[in-house]
């Protein structure tokens, strides 16, 4: 499933084609994705201009001149491609023609089209009236964005203070920090030298102040995500791009460490870590 860096890469691909352009028509080739499209979905979007295209956690948000916000989630297999401009698609070559999994087509006033393709149909598209975004069940309760100034060692320590759950589980809790997924949590924990099964409360003092571990972890999260965004061109999960993810049985890449990467299951997800340098 695409994680925050992949979604941000999609946003950067779509923004040049969509922002400032009017959506002349919306073509729905089926009545639903993960859930049915809202009533009047295509009609409410047509004729309005995309004022901004932002991201909140793993959601894309297109703000329209009507005041409505188009909320989009890629799900497990969703992908966009832009036809008729120099934009590059996410997971597909930008090429004309129809695919049986092309479910939504946005026709822009520039002559370009933006196509959403989703073979497994776990994607989401919703249309929110002004004021509804903050109350939406998927985004209303999210924690701070990990690359924002709001997310620092103090914020992370406050969120983890007193938590008896594992550090990895805490980071996957979208109320603690928004948008982190399994791959980049594992990567950040390795970079910070912290074990995924370590208790979350140990990075904070009893009063909720950050310990050194919280500072290391906050910096590692920002570094791992920043580098991943910079190198993203498509959803590419090749293990040679990672320090620890999917490297079970291989030597740890930390300089001077002779550990062998292990895998353990936490809440149904695979955690990869070095038992020597991650404590």
- Give the residue numbers annotated as catalytic, written as ranges: 2-3, 58, 269
Determine how many CB atoms are found less than 10 A away from the CB of residue 1: 15
Cβ atoms of 10 and 118 closer than 8 Å: no
Cβ atoms of 191 and 224 closer than 8 Å: yes
Give the number of C-alpha atoms closer than 13 A to the C-alpha of residue 87, restricted to the C-beta side.
26
Cβ atoms of 262 and 248 closer than 8 Å: yes
Provide the Cα torsion 250, 253, 257, 259; round to 10°.
Answer: -20
Q: What is the DSSP string of 5-59?
A: HHHHHHHHHHHHHHBT-EEEEEEESSSBSSSBPPTTHHHHHTTEEEEEEEEETTE
Angle at which helix 182-192 crosses helix 212-231, to 10 degrees, equals 130
Of the candidates 41, 24, 27, the residue with the CA atom closest to the CA atom of residue 112: 24
Please report the sign of the dihedral spanned by the C-alpha atoms of residue 157, residue 163, residue 167, residue 173. negative
3 state DSSP class of 191? helix
Cα–Cα distance measured from residue 222 to residue 240, given in angstroms and rounded to the nearest whole number: 20
């Amino acid at each position: 499933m695409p994680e925050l860096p992949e979604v941000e890469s999609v946003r950067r691909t779509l923004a040049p084609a969509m922002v400032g352009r009017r959506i002349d028509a919306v073509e729905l080739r089926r009545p639903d994705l993960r859930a049915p499209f809202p009533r009047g979905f295509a009609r409410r979007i047509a004729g309005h201009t995309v004022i901004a295209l932002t991201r909140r956690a793993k959601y894309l948000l297109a703000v329209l001149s009507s005041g409505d916000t188009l909320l989009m989630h890629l799900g497990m297999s969703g992908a966009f491609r832009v036809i008729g401009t120099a934009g590059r698609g996410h997971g597909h070559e930008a090429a004309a023609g129809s695919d049986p999994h092309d479910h939504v087509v946005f026709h822009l006033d520039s002559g370009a089209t933006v196509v959403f393709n989703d073979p497994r149909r776990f994607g989401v598209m919703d249309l929110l009236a002004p004021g509804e975004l903050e109350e939406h069940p998927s985004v209303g309760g999210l924690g701070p964005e990990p690359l924002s100034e709001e997310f620092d060692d103090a914020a992370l320590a406050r969120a983890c203070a007193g938590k008896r759950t594992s550090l990895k589980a805490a980071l996957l809790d979208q109320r603690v920090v928004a948008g982190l997924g399994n791959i980049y949590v594992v990567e950040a924990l390795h970079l910070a030298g912290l074990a995924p099964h370590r208790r979350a409360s140990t990075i904070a003092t009893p009063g909720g102040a950050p310990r050194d571990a919280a500072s290391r972890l906050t910096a590692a999260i920002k570094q791992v995500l920043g580098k991943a965004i910079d190198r993203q061109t498509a959803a590419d999960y090749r293990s040679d791009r990672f320090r620890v993810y999917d490297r079970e049985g291989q030597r740890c890449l930390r300089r001077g460490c002779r550990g062998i990467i292990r895998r353990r299951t936490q809440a149904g997800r695979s955690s990869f870590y070095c038992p020597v340098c991650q404590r």
